[in-house]
């Protein structure tokens, strides 16, 4: 890992380092330096959304970019919930972490307070930033689901909300029940919202969970890969949605109903295999194959691998330090291009820089915040081996150095 290059790119993020100097001090262990690099990325993604939303100004301040200007009016109906829900899904494990150092605690407390105010504004029908939770179109199901996923990943947030705000959240999420998901990964969005209701002891619709789980078992294609519906597609939806959603929904459901135990066991096997595949997709320079739709979610392509780190389920052949180095390289690769963000810190459509032609018609500025999913390991404390163990080359680097590695084999 070329730490000097990471250090340079951290400065490009345009945010104050957590500690000063964050990357040059020899008194700070190298693993902690990399954690600061990740936290700089978190701040770059979070600050524009959370500060404007807390001030009831997100709709006023956030630009709405789409593939074509003609699509902006339609995507503006959904983009703000996309931004907030997807960001929460990535950063809430860190917001729930305890026993941080004083500097990181101060940063966490700041963002935690902003998130609470943001939730209040997004769910209050009288607020300027009240969002579309299902009043128009089907897209709200997706991002209400990411929002619910964020709350599942940090129960501390739900505990900190006032009773009126909690009721507003429940009312907003219930709006999504009238949205019938198509026969693809969208079934899992409906399931996650119901899993959230289970987690807070609210009435839930088990049929939406049961159907999503059963259909995905039918759509399993082998070697850790699911179809997105009955067909297989070469894209990153197994990571964007399918693997992490199946795992976390089942983790909530299994203790309530043992009949899901055998399915859960299979899902864990598939999770492990797909984690191995994901690590091998990361090139020696941190890039990865630009295959399939939604490629503009950038670092969100490794939602699954990041979730496996967070949940301590990496397979034995993937050491946590190796995965840390690989994921750090991915983050570094895409932020090195200054065109990823506009001059006010909002992300722009693209993979490496600004490339709006890469987008699908459903992509807008808010959609891009799925990139925050790579940040899930920040939910592990500094003392965890993921942060503390010595650097280790990932598979692509080892192979390009000529290491004689064992062959990879299908599940």
User: Could you tell me if residue 410 is inside a domain?
Assistant: no
Please state, in angstroms and rounded to a whole number, the distance separating the CA atoms of residues 365 and 360. Answer: 12
How many residues are given for the chain? 411
- Residue 80 neighbours by CB under 8 Å, 6+ apart: 58, 59, 62, 122, 129, 131, 132, 366
Please state, in angstroms and rounded to a whole number, the distance separating the CA atoms of residues 327 and 256. Answer: 34
Domain span holding position 345: 3-400
User: Could you tell me if residue 156 is inside a domain?
Assistant: yes
- Residue 284 neighbours by CB under 8 Å, 6+ apart: 396, 397, 400
Q: Give pLDDT < 50 ranges for the chain.
A: 1-29, 31-32
Q: What is the pLDDT of residue 30?
A: 52
Q: Tell me the whole-structure pTM to 2 decimals.
A: 0.93
CATH number of the domain residue 264 falls in: 1.50.10
User: Could you tell me if residue 407 is inside a domain?
Assistant: no
User: Could you tell me if residue 355 is inside a domain?
Assistant: yes
Task: Kindly state the tokens that stand for 220.
Answer: 């399993």
Listed residue (214, 229, 220, 211) closest to 271, CA to CA: 220
Q: How many CB atoms lie within 10 A of CB 207?
A: 11
Q: How many CB atoms lie within 10 A of CB 252?
A: 20
Q: What is the pLDDT of residue 287?
A: 97
Q: CB–CB of 193/250 below 8 Å? A: no
User: Could you tell me if residue 205 is inside a domain?
Assistant: yes
Please state, in angstroms and rounded to a whole number, the distance separating the CA atoms of residues 203 and 350. Answer: 41
Q: Cis bond leading into 266, ω under 30°?
A: no
User: Could you tell me if residue 198 is inside a domain?
Assistant: yes
User: Could you tell me if residue 409 is inside a domain?
Assistant: no
- Residue 233 neighbours by CB under 8 Å, 6+ apart: 227, 292, 293
User: Could you tell me if residue 83 is inside a domain?
Assistant: yes
Q: CB–CB of 194/251 below 8 Å? A: no
Count of domains for the chain: 1
């Amino acid at each position: 890992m070329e730490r000097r290059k990471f250090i340079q790119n951290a400065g490009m993020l345009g945010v104050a380092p957590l500690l000063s100097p964050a990357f040059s001090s020899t008194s700070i262990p190298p693993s902690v330096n990399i954690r600061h690099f990740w936290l700089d990325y978190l701040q770059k993604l979070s600050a524009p959304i959370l500060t404007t939303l807390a001030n009831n100004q997100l709709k006023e301040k956030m630009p709405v970019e789409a593939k074509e200007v003609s699509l902006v009016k339609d995507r503006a109906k959904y983009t703000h919930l996309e931004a907030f829900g997807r960001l929460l899904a990535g950063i809430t494990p860190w917001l729930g972490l305890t026993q941080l150092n004083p500097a990181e605690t101060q940063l966490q407390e700041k963002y935690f307070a902003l998130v609470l105010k943001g939730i209040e504004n997004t769910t209050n029908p009288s607020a300027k930033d009240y969002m579309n939770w299902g009043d128009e179109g089907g897209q709200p199901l997706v991002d209400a689901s990411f929002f619910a996923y964020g709350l599942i990943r940090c129960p501390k947030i739900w505990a900190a909300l006032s009773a009126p705000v909690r009721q507003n959240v429940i009312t907003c999420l219930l709006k999504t029940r009238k949205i019938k998901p198509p026969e693809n990964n969208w079934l899992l969005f409906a399931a996650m919202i119901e899993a959230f209701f289970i987690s807070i002891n609210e009435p839930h619709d088990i049929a939406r969970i049961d159907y999503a789980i059963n259909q995905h078992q039918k759509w399993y294609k082998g070697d850790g890969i699911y179809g997105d519906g009955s067909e297989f597609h070469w894209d990153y939806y197994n990571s964007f949605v399918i693997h992490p959603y199946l795992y976390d929904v089942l983790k909530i459901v299994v203790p309530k109903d043992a009949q899901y135990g055998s399915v859960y066991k299979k899902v864990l096997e598939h999770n492990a295999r797909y984690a191995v595949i994901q690590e091998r997709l990361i090139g020696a320079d941190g890039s990865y194959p630009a295959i399939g739709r939604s490629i503009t979610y950038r670092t969100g392509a490794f939602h699954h691998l990041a979730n496996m780190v967070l949940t301590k389920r990496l397979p034995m052949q993937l050491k946590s330090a190796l995965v840390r180095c690989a994921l750090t390289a991915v983050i570094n690769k895409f932020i090195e291009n200054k065109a990823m963000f506009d001059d006010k810190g909002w992300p722009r459509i693209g993979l490496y820089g600004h490339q709006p032609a890469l987008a699908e018609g459903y992509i807008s500025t808010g959609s891009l915040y799925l990139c925050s999913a790579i940040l899930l390991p920040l939910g592990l404390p500094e003392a965890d081996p993921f942060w503390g163990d010595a650097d280790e080359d990932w598979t692509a680097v080892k192979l390009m150095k000529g290491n004689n590695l064992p062959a990879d084999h299908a599940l």
